[in-house]
């Protein structure tokens, strides 16, 4: 199977690429190495994939229709896993126009080129943020109203709507997956778990916002499992939650981090920030039933994996610095 992963040099995309290569797929990655974090970290993400003979890296922007046209003309893709986006709620508050351009216009450009070349199957990386501060928990895909409360969440909501439109208009087969806060090795450095674990390791104070928040945290291998299972079952148009199916409070998360790190956290408490939702908790009934999705990694095991990854990465950085 010939797969295109947009955003495949990023945190989630690079794990998807490794998994699909191991399954025998031919994997093409399109990524513009956006400066949301360092090119070096993204190159490290794809180091193992790049050494595989069935891995092809294409540097380029999803908004560049000419670049996409050339790519699709040269490669007969069976399916596209669309993960390229500007992620992150807080950064989107500062630059809403750029988020709209990349996440909505970029998605539309990709859908247009797919349609032009008759590539009919797409997985769209959506987000639990589309639910906003929804009152009914756990969050179900078919709930009555969505309340996106940040520019980022709105771009993901509109991305889903665009996918639905291309399904209705052209019969494209599209599955939108709403990921719930993803963590694990290669996590983006702007994300809370990464920042908290690094702060605890360096014994720097960590800042938490809002007192009563809780999240459904999902280990990246479970997200990859969800994407992979959805990829082989694309049928019509569908939306699924991909989460852990449980939640913890911020305080419980920090206690677990202290335990896996064997160090205490120094905490600075600040009020809620605009854009951050208070609670997330995925209802997995549909994804379990229709995709046979089943998350398997506990939060403490996943955090341990992440602590080990940060330690080995920091050790390598120290080694190369001193040599
Ligand atoms: N990490 C999470 O917790 C989470 C939760 C919900 C949804 N998501 C979604 O999953 C996807 C992947 O997220 P991630 O955490 O791996 O982020 P990431 O930033 O690590 O990966 C995104 C990749 O997209 C690339 N990119 C950005 N703009 C591009 C453009 N115009 N053209 C081509 N490539 C471009 C970036 O260089 C990056 O490598 C995103 O769509 C994100 O919105 C992530």
Q: For the chain, which domains are there?
A: 2-322 (3.40.50.720)
Q: Is the CB of 87 under 6 A from ligand 1?
A: yes
Instruction: Give, using CA atoms, the residue closest to atom 7 of ligand 1.
Output: 127
d(Cα 162, Cα 294) in Å, to the nearest integer? 28
Mean pLDDT of the chain: 95
Residue found by looking up tokens 């148009």 in the block: 237
Question: How buried is 171 (Cβ within 10 angstroms: 0-12 exposed, 13-18 middle, 19+ buried)?
Answer: exposed
The pLDDT, as a whole number, for residue 320 is 67
Categorize the per-residue pLDDT at 319 as very low, low, confident or very high, splitting at 50, 70 and 90: low
The pLDDT, as a whole number, for residue 318 is 73
| CB neighbourhood size of 314 (10 A) | 13
Using most ligand atoms within 8 A of CB, pick from 4, 5, 12 the residue to mutate for ligand 1.
Answer: 12
Categorize the per-residue pLDDT at 30 as very low, low, confident or very high, splitting at 50, 70 and 90: very high
Using most ligand atoms within 8 A of CB, pick from 6, 15, 29, 34 the residue to mutate for ligand 1.
Answer: 34
Atom of ligand 1 nearest to the CA of 61: 32
Q: Is the CB of 10 under 6 A from ligand 1?
A: yes
- Spacing, Cα 323 to ligand 1 middle (Å): 33
Q: Is the pLDDT of residue 311 over 60?
A: yes
Atom of ligand 1 nearest to the CA of 12: 16
The pLDDT, as a whole number, for residue 276 is 87
Q: Is the CB of 33 under 6 A from ligand 1?
A: yes
**Lowest-confidence pick of 10-24, 233-247, 261-275, 296-310:** 261-275
Residue percentage of the chain with pLDDT more than 90: 90
The pLDDT, as a whole number, for residue 115 is 98
pLDDT tens profile 52-64: 999 999 999 999 9
3-class secondary-structure state, position 208: strand
Which tokens is 260 given?
A: 């896996």
- pTM for the model stands at 0.97
The pLDDT, as a whole number, for residue 212 is 77
Q: Is the pLDDT of residue 323 over 60?
A: no
- Spacing, Cα 84 to ligand 1 middle (Å): 5
- 3-class SS shares of the chain: helix, strand, coil, % to 5: 45, 20, 35
Strand partners, 80: 4, 122
- Spacing, Cα 8 to ligand 1 middle (Å): 8
Instruction: Give, using CA atoms, the residue closest to atom 19 of ligand 1.
Output: 10
The pLDDT, as a whole number, for residue 314 is 84
Residues designated catalytic: 152
Q: Is the CB of 21 under 6 A from ligand 1?
A: no
| CB neighbourhood size of 305 (10 A) | 17
pLDDT tens profile 150-166: 999 999 999 999 999 99
Residue 147 DSSP class: B
Using most ligand atoms within 8 A of CB, pick from 10, 62, 98 the residue to mutate for ligand 1.
Answer: 10
Residue closest to 192 by CA, chosen among 202, 204, 180, 182 = 182
Q: Is the pLDDT of residue 322 over 80?
A: no
Q: Is the CB of 8 under 6 A from ligand 1?
A: no
Which tokens is 66 given?
A: 């000419």
Residue closest to 159 by CA, chosen among 125, 133, 207, 196 = 125
Q: Is the CB of 84 under 6 A from ligand 1?
A: yes
Atom of ligand 1 nearest to the CA of 34: 37
Residue percentage of the chain with pLDDT more than 70: 98
């Amino acid at each position: 199977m010939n797969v295109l992963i947009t955003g495949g040099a990023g945190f989630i995309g690079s794990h998807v690429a490794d998994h699909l290569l191991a399954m025998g797929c031919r994997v093409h990655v399109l990524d513009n190495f956006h400066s949301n974090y360092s090119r070096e970290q993204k190159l490290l993400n794809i180091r193992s994939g790049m050494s595989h003979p069935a891995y092809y890296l294409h540097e380029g922007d999803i908004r560049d229709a000419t670049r996409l046209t050339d790519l699709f003309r040269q490669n007969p893709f069976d399916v596209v896993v669309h993960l390229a986006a500007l992620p992150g709620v807080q950064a989107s508050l500062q630059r809403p126009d750029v988020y709209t351009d990349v996440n909505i216009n970029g998605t539309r450009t990709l859908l247009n080129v797919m349609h032009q070349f008759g590539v009919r199957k797409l997985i769209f990386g959506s987000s639990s943020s589309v639910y906003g501060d929804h009152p009914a928990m756990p969050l179900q895909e078919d709930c009555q109203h969505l309340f996106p409360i940040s520019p980022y969440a709105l771009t993901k909501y509109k991305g889903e709507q665009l996918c639905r439109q291309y399904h209705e208009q052209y019969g494209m087969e599209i599955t939108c997956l709403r990921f719930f806060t993803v963590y694990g090795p290669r996590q983006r450095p702007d994300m809370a778990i990464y920042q908290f674990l690094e702060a605890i390791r360096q014994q720097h104070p960590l800042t938490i916002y809002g007192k009563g928040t809780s999240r459904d945290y999902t280990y990246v291998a479970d997200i990859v499992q969800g994407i992979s299972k959805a990829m082989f079952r694309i049928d019509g148009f569908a939306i699924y939650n991909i989460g852990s199916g449980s939640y913890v409070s911020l305080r419980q998360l920090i206690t677990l981090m202290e335990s896996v790190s064997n160090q205490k956290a120094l905490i600075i408490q600040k009020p809620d920030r605009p854009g951050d939702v208070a609670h997330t908790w995925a209802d997995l009934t549909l994804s379990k039933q229709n995709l046979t999705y089943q998350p398997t990694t506990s939060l403490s095991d996943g955090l341990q994996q992440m602590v080990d990854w940060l330690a080995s990465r920091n050790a390598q950085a120290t080694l190369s610095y001193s040599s």
